[in-house]
Structure 1
Amino acid sequence: MTSTPRRFDHTGMQILDDTESLELLSSVPIGRLVFTMGGLPAVRLVNFVLDGDTLIFSTADGDKYRAAERGDVVAFEVDTVDPDRHLGWTVTAVGHLSVIDPEEAESLRHDLLLRPWAPNRDTYLIRLGIESLEGRRLLPWAQRPHQEAAGEGTNR
């Protein structure tokens, strides 16, 4: 059995493939939605579920809902970091938001067991279709490539 060789970026972080990135994305319940509000970046924590290559979360009528109504392009980021051991990973998904039709939303709420945190009235389900996915992992020191192995020469 041949394993795929690890790939690393210029900083020595391992580049994750889409399969591993999706697995990590589904392993945490909370992520950061990054969108535009009034021409400026905005970041909101949301609880979510992964349904195939689609992220689903609920929201009330507000900024996130309006971004979904417009079909805005957004980023969604999840991570885990161990500051004591200098280990961790991050996954960023990019795609367009959309509002899920109320009939489909009712079925999804039941099937996916998505529960909003806040006691929102008139909640809507929002979909983020993943169009781009990027993952990175900080490996233990002994598993990281040396500069020459990562394709970088030493600067003297």
Structure 2
Amino acid sequence: MTGFRVDEVARRVVNLSRVESLRLLSGVPFGRVVFTRDALPAIRPVNHILDGDTVIVRTQLTSRLTSTVRADSDVVVAYEADDIDRTTRLGWSVVVTGIARTITDPDLVARYDALVKPWADGNMDTIVAIEPTLVTGIRLVGRA
């Protein structure tokens, strides 16, 4: 579609099922984890995999995310990923909200170390699992 203006394209929002949302999330390599740090919202881009419904991320022991998760064993975080076309502004967005915990089981740590490849330099020595309590997703589609 050449010659169109983005504001001329009609769009609508379609709510996605939990299953479809998790399927889409599993198909992208990174997203953003949202947590509270010193009573303020914090957002960090991280790469991830899904293990079943659980979002798995690697981070550094010294990161703010890790210190937040270690300080509160029941800390609630959100994880968001999307794939929205910059030109048409069509695509999808998924948000997973749930309890984040560090993984300490040596077998699981070794497994996730092999599966989740760091995308940034540094010693990514900590695995965080986000157990989804709430999964929401939307798809932005053009009107027919």
Q: TM-score, normalised by structure 1?
A: 0.78
Distance 1:117 1:47 in 2: 7
CA shift digits 1:125-147 (9 cap, x unpaired): 110011100000111221xxxxx
Distance 2:125 2:21 in 1: 29
Q: TM-score, normalised by structure 2?
A: 0.84
Task: Please identify which structure carries the higher strand content.
Answer: 2
Map of 1:4-153 to 2, 5 A cutoff?
12-61=12-61, 62-69=63-70, 70-71=72-73, 72-103=75-106, 104-110=108-114, 113-121=115-123, 123-142=125-144
Relative contact order, CA 8 A, sep 6+: which one is greater? 2
Tell me the percent identity.
36
SS, match of residue 129 in structure 1 = strand
Aligned-pair CA distance for 1:80: 1.1
Distance 2:88 2:143 in 1: 9
Aligned to 1:152: none
Amino acid at match of 1:81: I
Distance 1:59 1:86 in 2: 31
SS, match of residue 13 in structure 1 = strand
Q: Is the 8 A contact 1:59 1:120 kept in 2?
A: no
Amino acid at match of 2:66: Y
Distance 1:29 1:101 in 2: 23
Amino acid at match of 1:135: G
Aligned-pair CA distance for 1:118: 2.6
Cα distance change, pair 66–15 in 1 and its aligned pair in 2 (3 A): same
Distance 2:22 2:30 in 1: 14
Superposition RMSD on alpha carbons, in Å?
1.6
Q: Is the 8 A contact 1:73 1:97 kept in 2?
A: yes
Structure 2 unaligned runs (5+)? 1-10
Aligned-pair CA distance for 1:67: 2.1
Structure label with greater radius of gyration: 1
